[in-house]
Amino acid sequence: MTERSLVFPVAEFRARVRRLQAGMAAAGLEAVLLTTAADIFYISGFLTRFWESPARPWFVVLPATCDPVAVIPTIGAALMRQSWIEHIQTWDAPDPVDDGVSLLAGVLADLVPEQGRIGVPMGLETHLRMPLADYHRLCGQLAPRAFVDATDCLQRVREIKSEAEIAKIRNSCAIAARAFDRIPEIAGAGRPLDAVFRGFQALLLEEGADWVSYLAGGAGQDGYRDVISPARTVPLVAGDILMLDTGAVHDGYFCDFDRNYAIGRASDLARRGHAGLWAATQDTLAAIRPGLRACDLHRLLHRSIVAQGLTPGGGRLGHGLGVTLTEWPSLTARDQTPLRSGMVLTLEPGAVLRPGVTMVHEENIVLRETGAELLSPRAPTDLPELL
C-alpha cells in the first residue's frame, strides 16, 4: 500500500461523497463529471500546482452509489495513488488523437445506463476544464445519455464547510495576519509598490503559506483607483493609502482579506473612509445570521455603508471562500442563495471616497447558528499609519 499524503482523513472525503451522492439522488443523476482543480481536490484530496499547465485535462467521475473514479494523465498517477481514490485509469496526455476521451467515455458508459443523466457543473461561476471539442465528442459517444447541469448539486455541498475545512481556512487567515503585522518591514514612503508586492509575498511564505495564489492591491492619495491591477514601479509617497489583498494558500485552502495602511499621516478623508467601512462591517457582523439570503446580506452591507455617510462602491460586497479564492454565493443584489450555518464568507464593503478614489475593507467569517465568527483577526479600528 502506498503511503497516503492527504490533507484530511479519508472520513472527511467519504462524508463529502455521501453528501454529494444524496444531492445526485435528489437530482436524478447517475454520475457527475468533475474537471476543475477545485472540484477534484475537494473530492479526492489530489493537490498539485500542475494545474497551472493548460496542456492536460483531468477527470474524476462520481457515480451515484460507489466510490469516485479518476481518469487522469499518467504523469499524475503516482500522486493520485496517494489519495484515497482506489479506481484510477490513466492515459499518456497530451494526445492529439484522443486525449482521454475514449477512456472517459468507457468509464461513464459502464456507470450510466443509456437513459441516464450525467451531471456537469455548467452554471454560474463554473467552467468546464477540458477542450470543448472533446466534450462534444464525449457527448456524441455517450448518446443517448444526457448531460445536464450539476452546479446546484456541487454548490450546496461545497459551500457548507466542515470543521476541518474551517480550521484550514482559519490557519490561512492567521498566516496572512502575521504577514500583515510585518508590513512596516517592507512598506513606507519611497518604497516602490512592486517591491512591496514582492516583499509581502515573501512574508506570506515566511509565515507559512505554501504558495501565494493571489495578491492584488493598490496605492494612491486617499485611496486607490481599482483593486485588481498588478503593482507599478511607482514609489509610495506621503498621503498614499496602500491596500494589499491576498489569497494565500495552505493545504489547498485560501484566505481572502485585505488591509489598508496610510503612508505617513492619513488624511481626514482616508481616516473617515476607513472608520466608516470598519463600522459598516461591525454592524453587519452583528446582524448576519442563517436564514438570510446572499442578497439580504448584500443589502445589509450596502445600508451599513450608507449609514456611515459613505458612497458604496459597485459590484458584489463579498463571497464564499474555501478551495478557491472566491466561491458561491456572491453577495450581490441578485443572488438568492440561502445563507446556512457552516458557510465561510468574505465581507467586503467598499466606498468611493471621491471620484476615481476607492477604499475596500475585507474580513473572513464562518457563519454559525448564532451568527458570524471571525476567521481573519479583526482589522484595527483606526487606519494604521506607516510613519
Q: Contact between 74 and a copy of itself (CB under 8 A)?
A: yes
The three grid cell numbers given for residue 117, joined into one nine-digit string: 443523466
Site for a copy of itself in 310-329 (CB under 8 A): 314-316, 319, 324-327
Q: How far apart are CA 300 and CA 288, in angstroms?
A: 8
Shortest distance (Å) from residue 63 CB to a copy of itself: 21
Shortest distance (Å) from residue 385 CB to a copy of itself: 26
Q: Which is nearer to a copy of itself, 311 or 332 (CB)?
A: 332
Give the DSSP per-residue string, 209-262: -SEEEEEEEEEEESSBS-SSPPPPSPBP-TTEEEEEEEEEEETTEE--EEEEEE
User: What are the angstrom distances between the C-alpha of 249 and each of 47, 66, 186, 213, 246?
Assistant: 12, 31, 21, 7, 9
Q: Contact between 230 and a copy of itself (CB under 8 A)?
A: yes
Q: Contact between 129 and a copy of itself (CB under 8 A)?
A: yes
Site for a copy of itself in 271-310 (CB under 8 A): none
Q: Which is nearer to a copy of itself, 171 or 282 (CB)?
A: 171
Of 13-21, 89-97, 179-187, 277-285, the window that binds a copy of itself (rule: CB under 8 A) is 89-97
Lookup result for grid cell 446556512: 340
Q: How far apart are CA 292 and CA 289, in angstroms?
A: 6
CB contact at 8 A, 183 and 195: no
Of 10-18, 179-187, 193-201, 262-270, the window that binds a copy of itself (rule: CB under 8 A) is 193-201
Residue type at position 117: R
Instruction: Compute the half-sphere exposure of residue 275: CA atoms within 13 Å on the CB side of its CA.
Output: 10
Shortest distance (Å) from residue 79 CB to a copy of itself: 5
Of 17-25, 180-188, 273-281, 331-339, the window that binds a copy of itself (rule: CB under 8 A) is 331-339
> Binding pattern to a copy of itself, positions 52-71, x when CB under 8 A?
xxxxxx--------------
Residue type at position 152: D
- Max CA-CA distance within the chain? 70
Q: Contact between 1 and a copy of itself (CB under 8 A)?
A: no
The CA-CA-CA angle for residues 167, 376, 248, to 5°, reads 75
Q: Contact between 125 and a copy of itself (CB under 8 A)?
A: yes
Site for a copy of itself in 148-167 (CB under 8 A): 149, 151
- Indicate which single residue of 25, 66, 124, 387 sits in contact with a copy of itself (rule: CB under 8 A): 124
Nearest to 83 by CA among 162, 150, 12: 12
Shortest distance (Å) from residue 216 CB to a copy of itself: 6
Torsion, Cα of 128, 132, 135, 141 (10° steps): 170
Taking the CB of residue 364, how many other CB atoms lie within 10 A of it? 24
- Indicate which single residue of 83, 284, 330, 364 sits in contact with a copy of itself (rule: CB under 8 A): 330
Q: Which is nearer to a copy of itself, 48 or 221 (CB)?
A: 48
Of 61-69, 224-232, 277-285, 369-377, the window that binds a copy of itself (rule: CB under 8 A) is 224-232
Residue type at position 1: M
Q: Which is nearer to a copy of itself, 82 or 282 (CB)?
A: 82
CB contact at 8 A, 118 and 142: yes
Of 16-24, 154-162, 203-211, 300-308, the window that binds a copy of itself (rule: CB under 8 A) is 203-211
Site for a copy of itself in 334-353 (CB under 8 A): 334-336
- Indicate which single residue of 71, 130, 196, 219 sits in contact with a copy of itself (rule: CB under 8 A): 130
Of 10-18, 196-204, 257-265, 372-380, the window that binds a copy of itself (rule: CB under 8 A) is 196-204
Q: How far apart are CA 31 and CA 45, in angstroms?
A: 19
Q: Contact between 140 and a copy of itself (CB under 8 A)?
A: no
CB contact at 8 A, 41 and 154: no
Shortest distance (Å) from residue 132 CB to a copy of itself: 4
Q: Which is nearer to a copy of itself, 308 or 326 (CB)?
A: 326
Name every residue whose Cβ is closer than 8 Å to that of residue 95 and which is 6 or more positions away in sequence: none
The three grid cell numbers given for residue 292, joined into one nine-digit string: 438570510
